Amino acid sequence: MIMNRETICNTPLALSLRRRGRQAQFLLLRGDKGVCFKMLFFFLSLSLSAQSTSTSISQNWQFRQIGTKTWHPATVPGTVHTDLFANNLIGDPFKDNNEIAQQWIENVNWEYKTRFDVSEEQFPFKHHELYFKGLDTYAEVFLNGEKILSANNMFRSWRVDVSELLKAEENELHIVFTSPILKNDSVAKNYVKLPGGSDTTEFPVAPFTRKAAYHFGWDFAPRFVTSGIWKDVVLESWDEIVLRDVVHSMISINDTEAVVKSTLNVESAVDANLNFLVNGQVFHHTFTSGKNNPSVHFKIKNPKRWWPNGSGEQHLYTIETKLIDPGTYDKYFQTDVQKIGLRTIELINEPDSIGTSFYFKVNGKPIFMKGANYVPQDVFLPRVQDSQYVHLLTLARDAGMNMLRVWGGGVYEKDIFYNLCDEYGILVWQDFMFANTMYPSDSAFRENVTLEAAEQIARLRKHPSLALYCGNNEIEVAWKNWGWQKQYGYSIQDSSRLWENYHDLFSIELRALVAVIDGYTTYVSTSPQSNWGTPKNFNHGSMHYWGVWHGNDDFNGFNQNVGRFMVEWGFQSYPDYNLLANYISPNQLSLDSEVMQNRQKSYVGNDKISEFLSQYALYGGSASNLSFKDFVYNSQWVQALGYEQALKAHLAKQPHCMGTLLWQLNDCWPGPSWSIINYNGQPKKAYEKVMRLYKP
């Protein structure tokens, strides 16, 4: 083959190199054949491309109900309900009793589509992947007419190599969503009936669906079983090497030095020698084709420790990791920037002179945990803005809270939630997303939830605010104390199978995943560890105390029933009257109206509030004589009184009690609940009492 300037410039290698900039072009245009060959070889060996780029695919989406003709504009990220509302096809879901009127939406299938071009800069890359950060929940995905993905879990992300299907222009992305009800109805009917949390349908499908449980209804939430593209869709492109992730783990710390281990997750399409920089130090590694996980250690002199809110500074170190061009040492292909906090966190959950302890030591110091249970900020998750996270967590910090529990009937929260907790010194008790039911035992379901848990552990382990993983909410205490076996008519064989499946998932598999992937953070299988119905149980482990609300105790019950760690307790109130008036018609603003009866999701709600209003008579009369507006106003005052009494009792009984997390911090819609902050972010009366008692 005769090599000249034209043939050199048009080889595949040359075309690839030409994209790399002026240095590549200079080499290609050298006239001497021998020099050109040498320079090309030199460039190939020292300057392979590790560049990458990404583009959000969030524009020009349309949606429709399957079987109909008309497409409508859609917002991505979004949900079917919010898209229908935006197109005036339904009314505001939170208005009056639209919750009931709009139940049809969950029983039909939907589809979304868009067309997109790839930029001239991005298309020449060798590897292209569509990264679906969240699909809710059963979705078939097609690119340019070819099926590329079947998704079945709201809590997982999905990455698909589309290099062979992608075109420079007019790519069509089409996503078909199957209703979770239609998908699992026959499954539920042919399986032993499982408790459905608050999914009160004849055959609950919630236990079979890896989707936020509160979407099926709860005692603080309406039923809106959503579908849609609830997180971003991104086209990610790379050439020879891509830096997927970096994990920084503290190995040891003392007053003079901290040792940190950094592990890179790198995918390479070639064998290559490459340098990388971590925290200013240069390291060398020989990368092979496939996945690479090189690890290095670095030291931080005179480290500043990260402390929870109220106990010290929340010092964060910014750590940069860069892949470096080994030929120049000053060209960074890809960069990862993270903030890390140096601290130790231990859960002391062991027999002691009282019973069984449950408390946290941070940096070797026992710290009383003051906080709340956190629930998703909206039924329709994509419309929660970053500013709302900042506002809500600022309120939590300013109230003196140092811990929030991410409750297992919601979702694993967005990165901004955990980043703010890192910044504000709010420790996170992280439930896995399992709540108030038993789960299927088939291998497909188990594989699905294992992949879900592994992904979330890998994401969350980086945060200094992460204090604890908890397997589930209230399943074990329910199985042992709530009479499910009799209620659902389980045979001895049914009960044995359900319990064995429970034990395998929560006591063995999730525990092992945390140990292998995280390796540091403590795992407990369930909360609570003790049932509030027996007095001696208040000496053992974690406690959900509901004697004041679900039992017959008055507020003195808070004084008399103090556990080792009070994970849940509370008393309900109504949101502010003006907030309710924004969503409820004037003729329905009455405690006995059809709309307000539906808005109260607790089976004892209005009667319990009325009973306590009359008992404590803060307004000097009988609850039955109050106007609705006054009832709403005084419900907040009686809630504040109860929270004040509970917190005083919990704080006073240290070290027997070493933590209290009120139920609940916030709301997902405008309705009566146990929250201390309204759906619109405005604090209730109880917030002031909590702040006064939590602040140092």
Length of the chain: 696
Q: How far apart are CA 230 and CA 76, in angstroms?
A: 7
Q: Is the distance from CB of 267 to CB of 260 less than 8 angstroms?
A: no
| Residue position matching structure tokens 């109230």 | 399
Is the pLDDT score of 383 beyond 70?
A: yes
Q: Is residue 312 left, alpha or beta, with left meaning phi > 0 and alpha meaning psi from -120 to 50?
A: left
> Starting at the edge strand that comes first in sequence, how are the strands of the sheet with 281-287 ordered?
281-287, 272-278, 317-324, 332-340
CB-based burial of residue 339 (10 Å sphere; 0-12 exposed, 13-18 middle, 19+ buried)?
middle
Q: How far apart are CA 577 and CA 588, in angstroms?
A: 12
Name the pLDDT band for 618 (thresholds 50, 70, 90). low
Q: Is the distance from CB of 48 to CB of 269 less than 8 angstroms?
A: no
Q: What is the pLDDT of residue 50?
A: 60
Distances from the Cα of 607 to the Cαs of 34, 347, 624, in angstroms?
A: 92, 39, 10
Q: At what angle do helices 685-694 and 628-652 cross, to 10 degrees?
A: 10
List the structure tokens of 546.
């509901």
Q: What is the pLDDT of residue 433?
A: 98
* 172 Cβ contact partners less than 8 Å away, ≥ 6 residues apart: 113, 114, 115, 142, 143, 144, 145
Q: At what angle do helices 415-424 and 386-398 cross, to 10 degrees?
A: 30
Q: For the chain, what is the total number of helices (H) and then of strands (E)?
A: 20, 32
Q: What is the DSSP letter of 588?
A: G
Q: How far apart are CA 670 and CA 273, in angstroms?
A: 58
Residue 332 phi, psi dihedral angles, 5° rounding: -100, 120
Distances from the Cα of 15 to the Cαs of 21, 26, 119, 121, 127, in angstroms?
A: 11, 13, 17, 14, 16
Q: What is the pLDDT of residue 622?
A: 73
List the structure tokens of 306.
């990260």
Distances from the Cα of 87 to the Cαs of 62, 363, 529, in angstroms?
A: 11, 53, 48
Q: What is the pLDDT of residue 332?
A: 62
Strands 369-374 and 403-406: parallel
Q: What is the pLDDT of residue 72?
A: 98
Lowest mean pLDDT among 72-81, 197-206, 554-563, 670-679: 197-206
Q: At what angle do helices 628-652 and 605-616 cross, to 10 degrees?
A: 80
Is the pLDDT score of 380 beyond 90?
A: yes
Q: Which residues in 235-259 are b (16+ Cβ under 10 Å) and which e?
A: bbbbbbbbbbebbbbbeebeeeebe
Distances from the Cα of 278 to the Cαs of 271, 297, 318, 337, in angstroms?
A: 21, 9, 11, 10
Name the pLDDT band for 47 (thresholds 50, 70, 90). very low
Mean pLDDT of the chain: 91
List the structure tokens of 381.
């998750």
Lowest mean pLDDT among 122-131, 246-255, 268-277: 268-277
Name the pLDDT band for 202 (thresholds 50, 70, 90). confident
Residue type, 67: G
Q: What is the pLDDT of residue 38?
A: 32
Question: 300 has which bridge partners?
Answer: 258
Is the pLDDT score of 162 beyond 70?
A: yes
- Displacement of CA 599 from its chain's centroid (Å): 26
Residue type, 110: W
Q: How far apart are CA 65 and CA 109, in angstroms?
A: 6
Name the pLDDT band for 392 (thresholds 50, 70, 90). very high
Assign domain 345-694 one CATH number from 3.40.50.300, 3.40.1350.10, 3.40.50.1370, 3.20.20.80: 3.20.20.80
Task: Classify 686 as helix, strand or coil.
Answer: helix
Q: pLDDT by residue (tens digit) across 34-46? A: 333 333 333 333 3
Name the pLDDT band for 98 (thresholds 50, 70, 90). very high
Q: How far apart are CA 662 and CA 369, in angstroms?
A: 11
Q: Is the distance from CB of 356 to CB of 529 less than 8 angstroms?
A: yes
Is the pLDDT score of 28 beyond 70?
A: no
Q: Is the distance from CB of 548 to CB of 642 less than 8 angstroms?
A: yes
List the structure tokens of 147.
């099926």
Q: Identify which has the larger pLDDT, 95 or 197.
A: 95
Q: pLDDT by residue (tens digit) across 412-455? A: 999 999 999 999 999 999 999 999 999 999 999 999 999 999 99
Q: Per CATH, is 54-235 categorized as 2.60.120.260?
A: yes
* 467 Cβ contact partners less than 8 Å away, ≥ 6 residues apart: 345, 347, 360, 403, 427, 428, 429, 521, 522
| pTM greater than the 0.75 cutoff | yes
* 496 Cβ contact partners less than 8 Å away, ≥ 6 residues apart: none
Do the domains at 54-235 and 345-694 have one common CATH topology? no
The CATH number that domain 239-340 falls under is 2.60.40.10
Average pLDDT over residues 91-98: 98
Cα–Cα–Cα angle for 43, 45, 49, rounded to 5 degrees: 75
Q: Is the distance from CB of 471 to CB of 432 less than 8 angstroms?
A: yes
In this structure, the number of other CB atoms found within 10 A of the CB of residue 436 comes to 22
Question: 662 has which bridge partners?
Answer: 372
Is the pLDDT score of 343 beyond 80?
A: yes
Q: Identify which has the larger pLDDT, 246 or 272.
A: 246
Strand stretches in 26-157, DSSP E: 52-56, 62-65, 72-73, 110-116, 127-132, 138-143, 146-152
Is the pLDDT score of 198 beyond 70?
A: yes
- Displacement of CA 129 from its chain's centroid (Å): 23
Q: Identify which has the larger pLDDT, 65 or 203.
A: 65
Q: How far apart are CA 223 and CA 380, in angstroms?
A: 11
Q: How far apart are CA 504 and CA 283, in angstroms?
A: 42
Q: What is the pLDDT of residue 31?
A: 40
Domain boundaries, the chain: 5-47, 54-235, 239-340, 345-694
Q: N- to C-terminal Cα distance for the chain?
A: 81
Is the pLDDT score of 662 beyond 80?
A: yes
Distances from the Cα of 335 to the Cαs of 150, 276, 326, in angstroms?
A: 32, 10, 15
Q: How far apart are CA 14 and CA 27, in angstroms?
A: 9
Closest C-alpha among 504, 485, 526 to residue 440? 504
